[in-house]
Amino acid sequence: MLAISQRGLAMPASPIRKLVPFAEAAKKRGTKVYHLNIGQPDIETPKAILDAVRHSEFKVLEYSHSAGNESYRQKLVQYYHSVGIEVTSQQIIVTTGGSEAIQFGFMACLDAGDEVIIPEPFYANYNGFAIAAGVKVVPVTSKIENGFALPPISDFEAKITPKTKAIVICNPNNPTGYLYSKEEMHQLKALIIKHNLYLFSDEAYREFCYGGEQVSAMHLKDAEQHVIMMDTISKRYSACGGRIGALVTKNQAVLDAVMKFAQARLSPPSFAQIAGEAAIDLPADYFDTTKAEYLLRRDVLVKRLNAMEGVFCPNPGGAFYAIAQLPIDDADKFCQWLLEDFSYQGETVMLAPATGFYGTAGLGKKEVRLAYVLNLHDINKAMDCLAAAIKVYPGRASV
């Protein structure tokens, strides 16, 4: 018998995608499914950036530079300047989605057996990338009661061992929608400097903040050598399929090491780099419009959720996710039941059980993540389904 590797066995199946077969079965039965389970926005990709690809003229679809086209990196320098991040094109390595930026950062900075501390609930794929790299994820729990604010620094310090090499944050946060305050970012800064740790900062949702400005990890003075930012065009321009991201840092040794991993895989995708480059020239009001749309959706979603008996949903400050606590026994069972056994006026809703976002077993069993990536009409319809479902769910339980 040929064996699968230990890491292959340990890799988690996607908690977001594992319910897909049940959703497909529901659709086959004729049930309409509202997808609030995945961060695939319905917002149209700006036509200008798709047209840049459509109108591109070249004869050979060549490899780009392993760090990405210089012309694109120059444009990114402009973009980062516009959000208060001063970097050179040499401090940007274009990656295949934000995913590859995370992988490169982990591979270049962490060895098998090293530990990274991540506030939970966290983006589930951090765990996958950690397993691929042989790295142990050590969770520090953030709580729904205070809207998933940064856990007390003493909680982080209690988890630090000689093997701890980094803290990972996502800001604004997926899956909680929490936007870290300036004070919290400075607490993190003091922590990484005191304990000589890297800070991996995933800033995929930078533009989507409602009621406060994002403080980038790249804004933290005197922490430049510690900070490695992971970025992507996927959410910013509703361009998830492009698979273009970036790793950005001022740490030259990290850049040098990451570059070797980048060379091994040759180059990031060429077509979507054209789109990414064109995106920097979008009109200044592009994000205003998009953000206003997400804000409307958030307000409706959160209001509808909190109007349901036994439901609590803190108001997220950014990104396009919310986590709600429901009066249910088990979120995994509930989300499957929504697809398998429930419908309301021929419709149902697909949610992500929050259990998949916690590193600590047993947490999140009453919580679900909702991505407000559908239009208002559909969000309201989805909330109608959820409200009806909670009333009749056989596993209803007090919170």
Contacts with a copy of itself in 153-192 (CB under 8 A)?
165
By beta-carbon proximity to a copy of itself, the closer residue of 165 and 369 is 165
CB of 310 to a copy of itself, least distance (A): 32
By beta-carbon proximity to a copy of itself, the closer residue of 128 and 314 is 128
Q: Specify the stretch interacting with a copy of itself by CB under 8 A; choose among 93-101, 151-159, 203-211, 363-371.
A: 93-101
Residues 117-156 close enough to bind a copy of itself by CB under 8 A? 125, 128-129, 132, 134
Instruction: Mark 25-64 with x for binding to a copy of itself (rule: CB under 8 A) and - for no binding.
Output: -------------x-xxxxxx----x--xxxx-xxxxxxx
Strands (E), 179-234: 198-202, 227-232
Q: Of 93, 23, 42, whose CA–CA distance to 235 is shortest?
A: 42
Helix (H) or strand (E) holding 382: helix 376-392
Using CB under 8 A as the binding rule, whether residue 116 contacts a copy of itself is answered as: no
Q: Of 253, 248, 265, whose CA–CA distance to 101 is shortest?
A: 248
What is the size of the binding site for a copy of itself (CB under 8 A)?
A: 81
CB of 5 to a copy of itself, least distance (A): 5
Angle between helices 286-306 and 376-392 (to 10 degrees): 20
Q: How far is CA 168 from CA 105, 140, 192, 235, 294, in A?
A: 11, 11, 11, 19, 25
Instruction: Mark 191-230 with x for binding to a copy of itself (rule: CB under 8 A) and - for no binding.
Output: -----xxx--------------------------xx----
Q: Of 45, 79, 106, whose CA–CA distance to 261 is shortest?
A: 106
Among 81, 182, 260, 303, binds a copy of itself (CB under 8 A): 260
Query: Token pair of 69, please?
Result: 């086209």
By beta-carbon proximity to a copy of itself, the closer residue of 234 and 343 is 234
Among 19, 77, 87, 100, binds a copy of itself (CB under 8 A): 100
State the first-to-last Cα distance of the chain, in angstroms, to the nearest integer: 47
Distance CA 134, CA 272 (A): 31
Using CB under 8 A as the binding rule, whether residue 271 contacts a copy of itself is answered as: yes
Pairing outcome for strands 227-232 and 245-249? antiparallel
Residues 328-367 close enough to bind a copy of itself by CB under 8 A? none
CB of 200 to a copy of itself, least distance (A): 12
Among 205, 261, 357, 393, binds a copy of itself (CB under 8 A): 261
Order of strands, edge to edge, in the sheet holding 367-371?
321-325, 367-371, 352-353
